[in-house]
Amino acid sequence: MNNKPKLIILDLDGTVYEDIHHFDYYVDSIKSLLPETTQDNFLKDYQSVLNNEHPLKFGRIYDTHNDLVIVQFNNSIEDVYTWSGSQLEQGKIQDLYPQPVNIDMQRYLSIGDLWWVPNAIAAHYGLNRTQTKQSFFKTREYMMGPDFNMIPVPGFKECLASLQSTIHLVLMTNSPQVDSEVILEKLGLKDLFTEKIFTASKPTKTIEHIKYLSEKYKVSYEEILSIGDNYINEILPASQLSCQTIYIDHHNSGYENLGIVVNSVRGLIPHLNKLID
């Protein structure tokens, strides 16, 4: 890092914990909303994405209207694929997308983390966002329950506790407050943040939130560190404001390196430990 940050913004899911077993519940919930005739294909496609054998890959964009997978880097569309993996000709791409697409999480879904993989596949098989949101809230409710155990990342709580005496720690998540607070409680992290921003509407409002935090805590953008596992939500907008970033790239997404990149929450800890006085 160029200089020690005075404020650190952390995402929740995939950033302060590494558990992923709740995604099995999430996938099963979405599957149950599909006709029985398509449920097997839904599961096959999901496994194919996890095995990196599908055109729907982490770091790409799914166009729900055209049922196409877009490869877009540095605000430029490089390739477009059909669901079966055929590559579109450049002329056809230009006709469909004369300008770079703006990710809105309605028509254009950014496959930035594991939450969005089953969402995109469900859209391919005919489900809308309202239906998949039902499964999301059902999964969060399951995570709040006493039977769902969260496994803390060793050393992470202690690291944040040491940082909070000299650095403002802010949680910024798209998840609702009620279930997020329960998750933080299970992880022992609930009282370690100066401020928590829930239902943050990232990436649409990421820059707006960072500007608000900069003004409130009287820190420059260069003194803010944004940490997250979703490049589009947490890394790209922060870098556009000249904030420092640490990208937790769980899936080797291939995004441009705009700051420090690690492949796990455990890999994040050594970088944070360097900031402890």
Class of domain 7-18+151-273: alpha beta
* pLDDT (mean) for 150-174: 96
Q: What is the per-residue pLDDT for 252?
A: 84
CA distance 271 to 82: 40
Q: Specify whether the CB–CB gap between 261 and 247 falls below 8 A.
A: yes
Residue-by-residue DSSP string for 197-231: E-S--TTTTHHHHHHHHHHHTT--GGGEEEEES-I
What mean pLDDT value characterizes the chain?
Answer: 94
Q: What is the per-residue pLDDT for 1?
A: 67
HSE of 195 in the Cβ direction (CA atoms, 13 Å)? 16
Find the helix packing angle between 22-33 and 36-50, rounded to 10°: 150
Q: Specify the 3-state DSSP secondary structure of 173.
A: coil
How does pLDDT run across 56-83, given as a tens digit for each residue?
999 899 999 999 999 998 789 999 999 9
Q: Tell me where in the chain the CATH 3.40.50.1000 domain(s) lie.
A: 7-18+151-273
Residue-by-residue DSSP string for 118-164: HHHHHHHTT--HHHHHHHHHHHHHHHHSTT----PPTTHHHHHHHHT
For 223, residues 6+ apart whose C-beta sits below 8 A from its C-beta are 3, 5, 6, 7
Q: What is the per-residue pLDDT for 2?
A: 67
Report the candidate in 264, 193, 255, 246 with the shortest Cα–Cα distance to residue 20: 264
